Chain A
Amino acid sequence: MADIRSNFIGIKSPNPFWLASAPPTDKEYNVVRAFKAGWGGVVWKTLGLDPHIVNVNGPRYGAVWGADRRLLGLNNIELITDRPLQVNLDEIKRVKRDWPDRAVVVSLMVPCEEACWTDIMKQVDDTGADGVELNFGCPHGMSERGMGSAVGQVPEYIEMVTRWVKASTRMPVIVKLTPNITDIRYPARAAHKGGADAVSLINTVSSITSVNLDTFSPEPSIDGKGSHGGYCGPAVKPIALNMVADIARDAETRGLPISGIGGITTWRDAAEFMALGAGNVQVCTAAMTYGFKIVQEMIEGLKNWMDEAGHPDLDAFVGRAVPNVTDWQYLNLNYVAKARIDQDSCIQCGRCHIACEDTSHQAITNMVDGQRRFEVIDEECVGCNLCVNVCPVENCITMVPMAAGAVDPRTGRVVTDDYANWTTHPNNPARVAAE
């Protein structure tokens, strides 16, 4: 059986599945239930200074659903903890004492003043917690007060606060990043320069989920008005994966441990984040949708996959996909693929045809010899994959690479095994002259 014990920047947990800082980790009651269910660790709901903040007394969440009300994306306008600091600290201390094998990390957000940070660090130190996470991520509410993403959007602030915190604690420090920036590498580099032991990402994406067309209020609506919230859940996973990969392969931050967050719902999502360089993962929306029990599926699923794939432990696959992420300019332009339709599994819905005909390359028939039939016209197919993506039958259309030596009927060129990319392409005005 695969060994999924995790050691993330010295913080040990029986598995790599942590609950992200959010309502599931808001208090002792929830966290104990989570540990009983099998979660490897928690990042406690973000603490702030007293007097504690208050939340709205109406809806905090908005959502985007699939047809059967499957929750695809969640949006929230909740702030950090709305309980007194000491209550949280006492509970954290008790939980860590009772659950020594689980990771207990404390999320923090206080004003951008050194004294505030050093002061709260001392108090967290006393709880025996395993580490801290600096919340530079929340995009709503707290950012209006100069905290959260207001810090996360200014690399200099990230570096400065990280430095203050590092200097004042024995504990490992994780910096949680906001995705609401143009290039995630800048805040990551700043955290790295400030001495962070790791970064975690993503926090939520600024969002308005929907507009009520009767009242013209954005949702969730508080007395007829709405404010942008933070988006999370399955819908944000592709955004998060890309950001994780960006940091994993950046020259300046390469090797900086990453805790992957954003839309993780299944063991497979977790494995994908880890393959792109995340040392462990954090989960929020999936737990808020289905309850804590989902971790059982994550644990078993990950183990089974690792066994089948022959990965004895997490290190065996963490980061394995990173070398395969590259810039567009280095993609092999000599690689030629054509769509192939398996006529036995085709159910003749015609979607591939109309998608290609109306919006792409007119490369799929709808009639052959007077019969309804969908076939790829190799002379027109550019291999774009749109048909694969719109076909309702899995594996009915596949992209088949052309073998070297064959002639691409679209271009009339002979396919070659040689690698050639944009940097040397004749159409590239800035190409480097080939020898």
Chain B
Amino acid sequence: MTDGRLDTGVAAGRLSAEDYAENFADLHPPLDRHEAVVAADRCYFCYDAPCVTACPTGIDIPLFIRQIATGNTTGSAKTIFDQNILGGMCARVCPTETLCEQACVREKAEGKPVVIGRLQRYATDAAMTAGKQFYERAAPSGKLVAVVGAGPAGLACAHRLAMHGHDVTVFDARPKAGGLNEYGIAAYKTVDGYAQAEVDYVTAIGGIAVEPGKALGRDLSLAGLCTSYDAVFLGMGLGGVNALGVEGDDSEGVIDAVEYIAALRQASDLATLPVGRRVVVLGGGMTAIDVAVQAKLLGAEEVTICYRRGKDNMNASEYEQDLATSKGVAIRHWLQPKRILAQSGKVTGIQLEYTTMSDGRLTGTGESLTLGADQVFRAIGQSYVTEPLEGGPSVALEGGRIKVDGEGRTSIAKVWAGGDCVAGGDDLTVSAVAMGRDAAESIHKSFNTRSGA
């Protein structure tokens, strides 16, 4: 135990090097071969399996699991990648408890689903470690496609387009490709530089040029892309975060959770990352859980998530909530921020008001509570930013995000979109992959119909 643990205020280096290493190790260690075979044997090889329907990318789950059971791990990985080229990351980050594993008939039968996510990791890890590439590019089509955003949506789209023989350039504003896989996902879900390894694995098919540090709206324009490329895919994710809008929210120590996590993911030494001794997190989604857990793992003494509605309204799954509480995070419900308390511009606490539902609306009760805090994380949602598309052809929005049809087509010809930046999604990695892949198929189809016509 180092003394840093008890340093007051916001401080770096609260823990020993061993503690950091242990705290940020793989959340679920990989299955070994025997564990995988035993876990695979639990799958009933269902007919028209409900787990497949529940997977946004529609992986043939009974087949890939059977392939593990029979010792055909390579074939298993291919079954997964056929539907989801980012199957390795999805295996780590999918909230399986609300997706495939929730639908598993063994969940219904005995409350213990087949561990689909962990099996998916077993197979994809094996193939990636062996450097096994399954896809060859079709003959060059001569078509050029621009993909904006190298997150899961953009990468899935690029891979599928490259497979069909098209040449793809992926632009990303950030210095590294991967999107939130690289900058957002909790560190203990994707250890050992997995996000970059996966980007390399995906782009190894060829025909994909990644151009980091190129932002749409700054270095590129949609109009320009539409002239230089045969099609454009927009996968820019959500660039903005919702503001608190309460007194004192500009104090030092009030931090955007997504930005903080990005810094954490990029830190070469976690000991350099300052964290409060008493931390309050505002929000109820995956981001709130992730920042709270990671603050705790960085050595914060007290971490409290305050959410303005009840447990059942939280976007974070029950599993995620249990994970947080198991790490010592307190979750409090029915509390909304009223005022940030500060001294000489630095956060000292937060005043919250109790809330309740009246007539179907959330209202404050007037009663309030004060929590002392050195750090307050804002995790109350991200938003789509419109600036990059401003001034060009106007892309129709819906509910503040890009409007697309079932194939990912936007309101303007030659432009598709997918992932978090489009309306109607569920803001999950796996859904972004599905949308990117389907948009690629739609783009490919449009080339064929146009050239065939």
A contact set with B: CB distance below 8 Å: 66-69, 347-351, 353-354, 366, 372, 392-393
Contacts and interface: CB of A to CB of B under 8 A. Distances in A.
A68 B38 contact: yes
Contacts of B40: 67
Contacts of A366: 47-48
A290 B41 CA distance: 23
B59 to A, nearest CB: 18
15 contacts: A67-B37, A67-B41, A347-B106, A347-B108, A348-B50, A349-B47, A351-B45, A353-B47, A354-B47, A366-B47, A366-B48, A372-B48, A392-B44, A392-B109, A393-B109
A388 to B, nearest CB: 15
B354 to A, nearest CB: 43
Nearest to B45: A351
Interface size class for chain B?
Answer: 10 to 19
B187 interface: no
Contacts of B46: 348-351
Contacts of B34: 69
A413 B40 CA distance: 46
Contacts of B48: 350, 366, 372
A349 B103 CA distance: 11
B340 interface: no
Nearest to B42: A67
Interface of B: 34, 37-38, 40-41, 44-50, 69, 105-106, 108-109
A372 B38 contact: no
Nearest to A367: B48
A349 B37 CA distance: 20
A208 to B, nearest CB: 19
A15 B261 CA distance: 69
A347 B47 contact: no
Contacts of A393: 109
A364 to B, nearest CB: 10
Contacts of A66: 41
A68 B41 contact: yes
A342 to B, nearest CB: 13
Given A347-B105, A347-B106, A347-B108, A67 B38 contact: yes
B32 to A, nearest CB: 13
Given A67-B69, A372-B50, A349 B44 contact: yes
Nearest to B39: A67
A30 B34 CA distance: 32
A349 B50 CA distance: 8
A348 B107 CA distance: 11
A237 B251 CA distance: 77
B152 to A, nearest CB: 30
B117 to A, nearest CB: 19
Nearest to A69: B34
Residue of B34, B45, B48, B108 with most partner-chain A CB within 10 A = B48
Contacts of A350: 46-49
Contacts of A353: 47
Contacts of A349: 44, 46-47, 105
Given A67-B38, A69-B34, A372-B50, A347 B109 contact: yes
Given A66-B41, A67-B37, A68-B41, 7 more contacts: A68-B38, A348-B108, A349-B44, A350-B46, A350-B47, A366-B47, A392-B44
A354 B37 CA distance: 24
A67 B114 CA distance: 14
Contacts of B47: 349-351, 353-354, 366
Contacts of A351: 44-47
Contacts of A68: 38, 41
Contacts of B69: 67
A350 B47 CA distance: 5
B386 to A, nearest CB: 41
B38 to A, nearest CB: 5
A344 to B, nearest CB: 12
Residue of B40, B41, B44, B69 with most partner-chain A CB within 10 A = B44
Contacts of A372: 48, 50
A426 B232 CA distance: 75
B37 to A, nearest CB: 6
B37 A348 contact: no
Q: Which 5 A-B pairs have the closest CB atoms?
A: A350-B47, A67-B41, A354-B47, A347-B109, A347-B105
Nearest to A353: B47
A30 to B, nearest CB: 30
A232 to B, nearest CB: 24
A261 B413 CA distance: 77
Contacts of B44: 349, 351, 392
A347 B108 CA distance: 6
Contacts of B38: 67-68
A350 B38 CA distance: 22
A68 B39 CA distance: 9
B181 to A, nearest CB: 33
Nearest to A348: B105
Nearest to B44: A349
Contacts of B108: 347-348
